[in-house]
Structure 1
């Protein structure tokens, strides 16, 4: 007998439309885990179609024997389908051919539903079902409902275009459907955020949503209930144990428990974690049994478990094998580390509680986290496992210096570099770098807080200390030296070392991006802009692909690409890129000034190309101010700014509008002092004019010089008059 529609059931219009669209197919298969709402959906669908009679049989193990299944289907058909009763009385013989003959005589379309197909495992019974499907009359549609994958030639039915399949992902409730169901069962209208949390937790699994909604009826705090609802909730855990896990063989259940610590997995990883040698076979069993296995690709390589099933299994693991929890995480960490997946290895090491193992991982792979922007992980390690060891631990000191430099804390950077230079360490560091001296010089070469000549000197030392092209530290040392040479105006040297770095395939993405960027900038500097487009676009593309484009550290690829765009006659595109990168960089105070100076210089040039002289003046002033605040810029950068200055001076009209480009740099009082400096008044006379002391005037004057990037009154006056800044 076809079940009746329950008044509390919510309709699922999208799925009902899919079923309606499949009425002309021979076969419909609903294959999904327990509690997915398969039977309820088919019941609703049949009830909505009053013009087509349907017969329903719920299978059980007793129907495996002999003709029991076909007797049951024949009885159901004779009761539910008009015309079948008379045919049954006048036909004798085996029930299967009799059923086919009777159905063939019907002119009206009918449906046969076989629910709980997973209870039928007898090979002869399933072969007879295959025969029945092959000989179904065109007016008969068979609907199969099962918790496990049926042993039927589904690929053959798919190829024939005669099959609709609805599986776990198809049966997941949509946001709108879930909102309706929860409201109908609980009487509550959840806030959007709470509804999203509930959907994320349940992944749209029908029984979980239903149990959550029923629990909300009696919940004192719906928000807290939704936040804490998981696979360990007693209603979900009880359901999974009774309806799913109790029927799973002990070996398979132990396997599932142990791999439940994994967010995603492949067969070799499962073998490593579970201590098995047949994970491929076991995963095939899990997939055929519809045990909440979610494929992550189309090749049956990577999978994950449904969140709630995994949570219930983890709780089961903690109860049944408490020692296996840490052991499974540790095995996962070892496997991931051995396959170069360091972030995953670290997470499992943290979960295992093995601090020694975690520390060894961090010491060997901290640059992996830095290069992917996971500074929080490095800081967490520094705060916990390192436990303040920086003063006496080389790796901790180097990590601390990197964290400080990337966050713009120059004082802390210098402190940790000083600490590192005082420590004694023979031989390579755990991270594979050749020595502590190399690590210190690489830092100095890349960030340049001691000035450009010192960058180049440190870059040479780093290159001499790491001469193995297969080392991951080979490219960073060459990229650092190349950038220093570029800032010094040695474009040929920069090109050579940037090319060496770019050709190394062993390093981390940021250093490949850096080397390609410097390569492009050096080519432009040598007048070979046509060759610069490829490395510039490659650098920018890598920056976007690795999620660096919104980072303040993306200045170099932006400078390279914008330079190329400007040479290609696209100053507006170049300016847009540069201004965005400058805004990102400006959001973090204290970062190395050299990449910022690249942006400002390029912006000034680009604005001049576009005819925006006011903006060019402003960027030039900012660049001069920045140059004055950095240590030992070298002659080339000063010459470069002078070139921009000369372009600007030459292009300014004879009677330009008065600019206000200093208002963002100088205070109101400093602007007043600067105006009086232009009038050739003495410090004392300026003080009298402004009613301040000579010392106050001197303080303002020093600040003005620093901000304008000049060292004397004469330079300041010349700059302001040439650029019409006031």
Structure 2
């Protein structure tokens, strides 16, 4: 309270004198009494007063919050409160928004535009960057002014600026030092662990985070990170999907690699399982691949391959099969059949028959199976019959297309 009165007295030394005397006496008054005296004296002045509270997120004293809340409710109309904070303060923000008594400047409002980035780099800092280079750097810093300044510091004296921009990441020493000190260094161990492990995905929601970390209630951490503006960017108005700032994600991934290198594969597998359950096929396969789990990639391609072709997305299927080593494809009859279908559709058709023959040979080589004793890459003897049926179907397609089929 004393600091508050002292700040206001810089405008008018007479304001708050009585309140200070009472504070320094033995009367032990309530904060409401002191504030009423202070507000009454402020109301009698003709000065416009702006009270600025910087770094308010460091305040964790409930009494201070009550004092500021009381002041906000009863201060004169010509008095303005300016609060700089990384967290939404526990004030009546909703009510103030409804009454249009609140002006909010959020992180999105502070982001530099492409044009502003170009002006800062070329006009202010003296670089002669092409618009292509400016745009490339802007995509990396995403309007974050501090990172743009740090990038500019790093570029000074650089001969190949274009190459520097293309390789500029969160592991840049200036960015690294800033993020380590100002962001990660101030988080709890639980939040740090959350940040590192969830950095493996390009976007996230609470359910996906629960799967990756193998625990529930991660929505609370996501909400906390969003409120604290910790480089978490919401992707929708419903506060469901988020992503990290690109440079922050770079840092987190590098830290994860340094601290928990042996856990990365398992994290990707968990992400892949979640995406599979949500029928997000591309992401499921991508994370299985990043987790270096080729068996899982193969299983997913087998699972969804024919569904993809039914939607005329053979190019997607082709890209999936190209991710797998040839020997993996040639050791799985369903993958051989899918590869044969692609060759039938796009050529060369001679290779289609090659893969069908490989699929047939795998069935012949497999031991006899029954429902309770599956062979490798077969779910049952029924599956073998389905494989034979698929082979026959593709051969029939080829015969009809090439005019070899003679109707009765």
Deviation at 1:332, TM superposition (A): 1.0
Match of 1:85 in 2: 13
Range 103-112 or range 329-338, more displaced: 103-112
State the shift of 1:106 in Å. 3.3
> How far 1:632 sits from its partner (Å)?
6.9
C-alpha displacement at 1:259, in angstroms?
A: 0.8
Partner of 1:159: 98
Q: Kindly indicate whether the alpha-carbon contact (under 8 Å) linking 1:185 and 1:214 is maintained by their aligned counterparts in 2.
A: no
Change (3 A) 1:441 1:98: farther
Q: Which residue of 2 aligns with 1:150?
A: 89
| Structure-2 residue corresponding to 1:63 | none
Give the unaligned 5+ runs of structure 1.
Answer: 1-66, 453-629, 636-726
Change over 3 Å in CA distance of 1:421–1:113 after alignment to 2: same
Aligned 1:518-597 pairs, distance under 5 A: none
Q: Which secondary structure does the structure 1 equivalent of 2:146 belong to?
A: helix
Q: Are the equivalent residues in 1 in contact too, given 2:331–2:362 (CA < 8 A)?
A: yes
For residues 634 and 185 of structure 1, the distance between their equivalents in structure 2, rounded to whole angstroms, comes to: 78
Summarize the Cα distance change of 1:415–1:291 in structure 2 as closer, same or farther, 3 Å threshold: same
Deviation at 1:340, TM superposition (A): 2.1
Output one character per residue of 1:507-535: Cα deviation in whole Å (capped at 9) or x when no partner. Answer: xxxxxxxxxxxxxxxxxxxxxxxxxxxxx
What secondary structure is seen at the aligned counterpart in 2 of 1:85?
Answer: coil
Say which of 63, 68, 73 aligns to 2:4.
73
Aligned to 1:407: 346
1:101 and 2:40 aligned: yes
Match of 1:127 in 2: 66
Distance (whole Å) between structure 1 residues aligned to residue 307 and residue 63 of structure 2: 57
Corresponding residue to 1:631 among 380, 388, 403:
403
1:437 paired residue number: 388
Distance 1:634 1:98 in 2: 103
By how many angstroms is 1:380 displaced? 5.4
Match of 1:324 among 251, 260, 263: 263
Residues 568-603 of structure 1: CA deviation (Å, up to 9, x unaligned): xxxxxxxxxxxxxxxxxxxxxxxxxxxxxxxxxxxx
For the 8 Å contact 1:173–1:204, the answer to whether it is kept is yes
Against the structure 1 CA distance between its residues 442 and 117, is the aligned structure 2 distance closer, same or farther, given a 3 Å change threshold? farther
SS of the residue corresponding to residue 166 of structure 1 reads: coil
Q: Measure, in 2, the Cα distance between the counterparts of 1:179 and 1:247.
A: 32
Q: Does 1:297 align with 2:236?
A: yes
Q: How does 1:174-573 map to 2 (within 5 A)?
A: 174-367=113-306, 370=309, 378-379=317-318, 382-383=321-322, 385-391=324-330, 393-420=332-359, 423-424=362-363, 435-443=386-394, 448-451=397-400
Q: Deviations over 1:355-376 (max 9, x none)?
A: 2222222222233555677756
Gaps of 5+ in 2: 24-33, 371-376
Q: CA RMSD in A?
A: 3.0
SS of residue paired to 2:343: helix
- Alignment-derived partner of residue 30 in structure 2: none
Check whether the contact 1:106–1:139 (CA below 8 A) recurs between aligned residues. Answer: no
- Contact kept? 2:114, 2:138, Cα under 8 Å: yes
Change (3 A) 1:160 1:246: same
In structure 2, distance between residues paired with 1:232 and 1:372: 42
Q: How does 1:605-644 map to 2 (within 5 A)?
A: 631=403
**CA shift for structure 1 position 127:** 1.5
Moved more, 287-296 or 123-132: 287-296
Conserved 8 A contact 1:359-1:386: no
C-alpha deviation, 1:419, in angstroms: 4.5
What SS is found at the alignment partner of 1:451? helix
The separation in 2 between residues aligned to 1:201 and 1:434, in whole angstroms, is: 53
Matched, 1:173 2:89: no
- Alpha-carbon distance in structure 1 between the residues aligned to 2:51 and 2:121: 32
- Kindly tell me: are residues 114 and 374 of structure 1, through their superposed partners in 2, closer, same or farther at Cα, counting changes over 3 Å? farther
Give the equivalent residue in structure 2 for 1:506: none
Whether the 8 Å CA contact 2:49–2:80 is kept in 1: the answer is: yes
CA contact (8 A) 2:8 2:15 kept: no
Q: 1:268 & 1:417 partners in 2: Cα distance?
A: 41
Task: Measure the CA separation in 1 of the matches of 2:328 and 2:338.
Answer: 11
Query: Cα gap change, 1:244/1:433 in structure 2, threshold over 3 Å: closer, same or farther?
Result: farther
TM-superposition CA deviations, 1:128-160 (whole Å, max 9, x none): 111111112111222211112222222111111
- Contact 2:205-2:240 within 8 A present in 1 as well: yes
* Number of the residue aligned with 2:31: none
SS at match of 1:112: strand
Higher relative contact order, structure no. (Cα contacts within 8 Å, ≥ 6 residues apart): 2
1:375-409 CA deviation, whole Å, 9 max, x = no partner? Answer: 56644554553423555531222121222234343
TM-score computed with the length of structure 1 as normaliser: 0.49
> Equivalents in 2 of 1:312, 1:214: separation in Å?
19
Aligned-residue offset at 1:115? 1.3
Deviation string 1:290-334 (CA, Å, 9 cap, x unpaired) is: 222222222232222222222211111122222222221111112
Cα 1:339–1:90 shift into 2, 3 Å: closer
> d(CA) in 1 for partners of 2:241 and 2:398?
46
Deviations 1:68-116 (A, max 9, x none): xxx323323322x3xx223345665456344423432233433222111
Change (3 A) 1:75 1:391: closer
Partner SS state of residue 142, structure 1 = strand
The 1:438/1:153 distance shift into structure 2, 3 A limit, reads: farther
State how far apart, in whole Å, the 2-side matches of 1:174 and 1:110 are: 32
